Amino acid sequence: MPTGITTRRARRTIAAAASLLAVLTTLSGLGAPSASAAPKCNDIEIVFARGTDEAPGLGVVGKALVDALRPMVKGQSIGTYAVKYPASWDFLEVAAGANDASRRVQTIAATCPDSKIVLGGYSQGAAVMDVVTTSPIAALGYTAPLPAAVVPHVAAVAVFGNPSARLGQPLTILSPDFGARTADLCNTNDPVCSLGEDFDAHVRYPQSGLVRLAAQWIAKHVQQQTPLRGDS
């Protein structure tokens, strides 16, 4: 990606981070999903939200994460779900992504109770997961908060380039329910999630080693999780 484009994107994301954190804080303080298509039951189900301006799908980081995880959990099937939301520069749209991600998680927990759910997101997608994991009740467009009974079905969370981390609020701090099973990862000097100024660092997660580190984190946690059949 040309450096000029990367720089413009990173600067715009930094400018939006403060307003994004305000939205997250309001949602967390305030703290009946619509039906999703019934999923095929897999051993592991990854629900991932792509970053700003990426084409619909898992995005570059999400795909790299799945590819890195597969050889670490041989013999276990992996399903993936790309969160549906605009991923535009209107950060208030994170609520749309949070609704879609939460509904998917609730559907999996209800229909595939033995599946180990993994939440993930990159950049604005990380903000989507911030909302899902920190907002216990509906607010500001987020209408599908996770019921308490669903929380144990999530084995691990991995986010990359999280804008709230730049403001001193990584997901490990923001979420009392999910913090201990979360990897909130930031490349050195990534200005979106730190006070650094290396704008290219924001797009180098697959190359920096942090995607592999996240895959190891996930593999560890899905192996530790006890089956929850009948608890949802």
Cα–Cα distance, 24 to 174 (Å, whole number): 9
* Whole-angstrom distance, CA of residue 133 vs CA of residue 82: 17
Does the active-site annotation cover 175? no
Is 202 part of the annotated catalytic residue set? yes
Q: Residue 174 has which token pair? A: 């923001």
Q: Rounded to the nearest 5°, which phi and psi values hold at 160?
A: -130, 135
In Å, what is the CA distance from 192 to each residue of 70, 148, 218?
Answer: 28, 31, 23
Do 184 and 119 form a contact (C-beta atoms < 8 A)?
no
Name the catalytic one among 153, 164, 190, 221: 190
One-letter identity of residue 62: G
- The question of whether 123 is a catalytic residue gets the answer yes
Spatial distance between the Cα atoms of 166 and 124, rounded to a whole number of angstroms: 13
Of the candidates 28, 153, 202, 221, the residue annotated as catalytic is: 202
- Calculate Rg over the CA atoms of the chain: 16
**Which two tokens mark 212?**
């592999």
Tell me if residue 165 falls in helix, strand or coil: helix
Indicate which residue of 123, 135, 164, 175 is catalytic.
123
- State the catalytic residues: 123, 190, 202
